[in-house]
Structure 1
């Protein structure tokens, strides 16, 4: 028997005023997993005037804020880490660039690259599958693609499987065993509504607390709009970014005779926003036959990235949103495009600079 025990995590409700937002604590549905509940921080136990702990390490000095273009992150870290994909003018991944080909700008100010490497780093992956009733006819293709993604991954990768309708459930906990993932897929039943934002928030939280690898990814597959979440898209992105930015790859199965065009356009914008703000990619196959090939593209993109770090020329104690832009220029290439996250808020704890994981 596959037993699943309810877990609740604490989510933030954000004010959208300038500067650091005022946080109020709210209980949100979180992941259900086949083991004992994981304790969440209790805001009632936080000292007066202090934000209750959130994010990796439950650092009470961590804060999150809204900014231009969405929500971004930064722990109490002076060193900024970027995972970057470089494409040529034909959309092909370029893996042979040296460090001096990269030019990093923060708020328009050139930054000095502190470290640089291009290698297939192990990844912790959360695979989120929409199990609402409308997904019934698409499940076989989605299951096949999920299995293929793991088969194409680094042998040291680990993945967990989540299905969500009204609530998110873990069907397979972290594993590198394809057979365990296949077994978990058999537990998924299509019924109910679509609470995608809740599922993303809960999965990112679970990832931050349990993942073995610092490089982290969420892949979400859905066929429509969120219609059941307790949290909003903006709040979900803010919380995900505060957990130090798992990259989100989204797959929108926005096809079929019963698909509402207006809802489809909105769902597309949502999935594109989730990917863009975290450095991932949004995919929109035209039919179920194209779903399998997307697994190949996601696996390839994850494995063909550069890791770039730099020390900001602006002290993190100054706070404020920092826009990040990365250019790549190298002889033999007329046009190179760099995809990475587009900004962050620095985090400060006790005034000391710390290196992010």
Structure 2
């Protein structure tokens, strides 16, 4: 769990002055502890230019422009929410624009359509459920994924260096450029070299359209007239890629609005600087079985004894990004088939909607497979794993999993790292060879700040020490204890695997536990960043229920 460096939350919306369909126009500078109000929400990208947009309540439209900052406009259609579900937060690694479903309740008829203008250097990731996605212009990288919405990618230069991969599981893909017309295909790929800008498009039940040779220049933000919802007799704005079902959801006529609503001092949106996110698994105290079907109202969060209002909630059924980290050094290299078979069991046990990445390591971490839901591809890549050479660099491999393996997805949806090792990093005194570049304390601190969950599986490789040249018993013990501490710091569970033949069963228990994890977020009432420890306790109101997760954070 990580305390967010910067976060922008839209809340306390004016309830008496706005109609059921209205346009919220806000802007602020993302400078710590200060903000200003203007017409659009304005945010600065982090140093790595990563932007993640997640909207489970409507459409997302992204347009590349020449300004250095990101501009966000939200159009709300349907009922008037008690508080806005739009949250913008920024860390050193990610600018995140989120429409939180928990803010208004899952049964709410509220529809939220987002429109963003982004610089060309932006690495964009977009996630929707049924909402359409439209992207105009070419960002530095683009990933768009929707369950049933349509995706439209419009770009001006069809000869631009783009590495495109598009997949429509049920719908079809159409490609129209000056030199290529292809329609009705289930998948499309176009590779323009290793330096091409990556474009990954995926829709489970919608259509995907790629239109090249179209002028997409965006000289500036849309005018007030362009941002105004349509008159009463028209449907509210939707992207061309929405389905009939989605249009009916958003079909409540929008009331006429000739100009943006003026926001007076009493309507100022409060800008907090921190969001705390917790991932907790919930089990029955008597049976140790996971409890499913819990709602936000079943949880209470306390920080240093003071109850904190929950602002965002994701149920245990929400999908995960799972990163499997496998130690191939030392004695494990003689058991490669067991390790491959156990990894395959992990893949087969995970839920179909969970994305899985696989990393192996000895002297160097290797990304065997990036995050994917393609189980056949995972089987092929895992079966192709070979023995690794080099010394054990466990801490560097964990750092690789939290940074390189997840760099193109941000902290996508919820993330869990599952690491298998004997814990014998080469930095331990009697372990031979080069150790990790990072120290144990450095990786432990990094895991404490990690937004996801870390599970560790310790494999017993101890043997009788016959000389001072052998790994000594105290370092085997240290490897065991550090693997346990890594899991505790990461809010996950620690498993002891006495022999590799038991590894597959341990993986299946990890998957079962991940299926009981709920995600909760809150704004701490104590927002003083004094570097002190903040103790967190999560209470579940159901009888015999107990929540497990991270126990706190340092308010840096």
Whether TM exceeds 0.5 here: the answer is: yes
Residue-by-residue CA offset, 1:42-72 (whole Å, 9 max, x unaligned): xxxxxxxxxxx943359xxxxxxxxxxxxxx
Structure 1 residues 182 and 116, CA, compared in 2 at 3 Å: closer, same or farther?
closer
More strand as a share of residues: 2
Change (3 A) 1:200 1:117: closer
Cα deviation for residue 258 of structure 1 reads 5.0
Between the aligned partners of 1:305 and 1:279, the Cα distance in structure 2 is: 11
Partner of 2:75: none
Q: Does 1:338 align with 2:535?
A: no
- Please report how far the alpha carbon of residue 40 of structure 1 lies from its aligned counterpart in structure 2 after TM superposition: 7.5
Distance 1:143 1:258, change over 3 A: farther
- How many residues matched? 277
Shift of 1:98: 4.5
Residue 379 of structure 2 corresponds to residue 182 of structure 1: yes
Aligned to 2:274: 78
Q: Measured at CA, do residues 257 and 321 of structure 1 come closer, stay the same or move farther in structure 2, by a change above 3 Å?
A: closer
Q: Of 229, 251, 274, which aligns to 2:436?
A: 229
> Aligned runs of 1:108-123 on 2, under 5 Å?
108-123=305-320
Q: Does 1:173 align with 2:345?
A: no
Tell me, yes or no, if the aligned pair for 2:281 and 2:513 is still in contact at 8 Å.
yes
Mark the structure with the bigger radius of gyration. 2
- CA distance 1:97–1:123, shift in 2 (3 Å): closer
Further displaced range: 187-196 or 270-279:
187-196
- Structure 1 residue ranges without an equivalent (≥5): 1-38, 42-52, 59-75, 348-357
Distance 1:224 1:117, change over 3 A: closer
The offset of 1:167, in angstroms, is 1.6
1:142 aligns with 2:339: yes
Counterpart secondary structure, 1:169: strand
Measured after TM superposition, the shift of residue 226 of structure 1 is 0.6
TM-superposed CA distance for 1:231, in Å, is 0.8
Contact 2:398 2:443 in 1 (8 A): yes
Q: What is the correspondence of 1:1-357 to structure 2 with a 5 Å cutoff?
A: 54-57=92-95, 77-89=273-285, 90-185=287-382, 186-211=384-409, 213-227=412-426, 228-242=435-449, 244-255=450-461, 257=463, 261-315=473-527, 320-331=532-543, 333=544, 336-346=545-555
Query: Which has the higher relative contact order, 1 or 2, with Cα contacts under 8 A spaced 6 or more apart?
Result: 1
* Superposed displacement of residue 87, structure 1: 1.9
Q: Is the 8 A contact 2:394 2:423 kept in 1?
A: no
Q: Identify the structure with the greater helix proportion.
A: 1
Task: Report the Cα distance in structure 2 between the residues aligned to 1:119 and 1:330, rounded to whole angstroms.
Answer: 15
- Measure the CA separation in 2 of the matches of 1:255 and 1:165: 15
Q: Secondary structure at the match of 2:497?
A: coil
Taking the aligned partners of 1:286 and 1:197, their CA distance within structure 2 comes to 22
| 8 A Cα contact 1:117 1:308, kept in partner | yes
| TM-score, scaled relative to structure 2 | 0.46
Distance in 1 separating the partners of 2:314 and 2:373: 25
| Contact 2:447/2:489 (8 A) holds in 1 | no
On the 8 A contact 1:133/1:191 being kept in 2, the answer is no
CA distance in structure 2 between the partners assigned to 1:125 and 1:290 by the alignment? 20
Q: Which moved more, 1:294-303 or 1:170-179?
A: 170-179
Which whole-Å deviations, capped at 9, do the CAs of 1:209-262 have from their partners, x for residues lacking one?
A: 2237321111111124111111111111323444x4221111111145458542
Helix, strand or coil at the partner of 2:292:
coil
Distance in 2 between residues matched to 1:313 and 1:330, nearest whole Å:
25
Q: How far off its partner does 1:96 sit?
A: 4.3
Q: Give the CA RMSD over aligned residues.
A: 2.8
The CA deviation at 1:116 is 3.5
Aligned residue in 2 for 1:8: none
- 1:311 offset after TM fit, Å? 2.3
Task: Give the distance between the partners of 1:269 and 1:316, measured in 2 at CA.
Answer: 33
Alpha-carbon distance change, 187 to 258 in structure 1, aligned in 2, over 3 angstroms: farther
